[in-house]
Amino acid sequence: MTDSQFRDLHNVKIILKYDGTRYQGWQIQPRGRTIQGELTRVLSLLDHRAVTVHGAGRTDSGVHAEGQVASFLMEREFEPGRLRDAINGNLDPDIRVSAVEPVDESFHARYSATQKTYKYRVCMGPVASPFEYRYVYHFRSTLDAARMRDAAAVLQGRHDFSAFTDGDSEASDHIRHLRSLEVEQNGDTLTIVAVADGFLRYMVRTIAGTLIDVGRGYRDSESVLTALKQRDRRLAGPTAPAAGLTLLRVDY
């Protein structure tokens, strides 16, 4: 694309929410519906041309978002509220754009991000509410939140998180700054909130699975530290189910 062509386009940022249950994650796949695929379809329809959509994070199949961010270039000019309504009017109701904002041409949803926040929710009661079951991991037993907090403290900071990611991760390196990792309990619901400058594939779900193992007494803080230091995926816990994970917000 030439500079003159770029100046004829408008850079747009959107914030969106979605229930990821029926989708094969964010990124367009050869088969199956994805969030990026649905947005690409609708925006290309509205702009009468092929539109490329960039997301702040590539959420996995079944993962949800309350504050996903995407950006794209459009030829047609829309008032933000009208564009929001036009996009939503062509999407299924489990994906919703909550805000539209014109941005500088240098803005990129993924590369301009400085911090992301995820939450992972666990229902520890014998019964999961029919209004909640899609958005929690139903564990059906109790977890020791205090032990989990102690183990979470071990993981905070700037580390190589090779033990907490998929071996096929496309990332050039596995060093991330985990700025905060909190374990909160409210009745039968336990929530893990992770804030970092970026996350590796399956990183939050693996951290959640490891902390859940700690909470059930299967491992301790020392074993978590050992996995972190040795950078060995086999020493960390299982990858927790996707349903409990939500991308909460992206900061710029």
Active site residues: 60
Q: Using alpha carbons, select from 13, 90, 92, 17 the residue that is nearest to residue 53.
A: 13
Q: Residue length, the chain?
A: 252
The helix (H) or strand (E) run that includes residue 222 is helix 221-230
- Rounded to 10 degrees, the C-alpha dihedral 214/172/39/78 comes to 120
DSSP letter at 108 equals -
In whole angstroms, give the CA distance from residue 71 to residue 110.
9
When computed from its CA atoms, the radius of gyration of the chain, rounded to whole angstroms, is 19
Q: Using alpha carbons, select from 252, 210, 247, 249 the residue that is nearest to residue 58.
A: 247
Residues 6+ apart with CB under 8 A from 158: 175, 176, 177, 178
Q: Using alpha carbons, select from 63, 56, 52, 57 the residue that is nearest to residue 18.
A: 63
Residue 12 Rama label (left phi>0; alpha psi -120 to 50; beta): beta
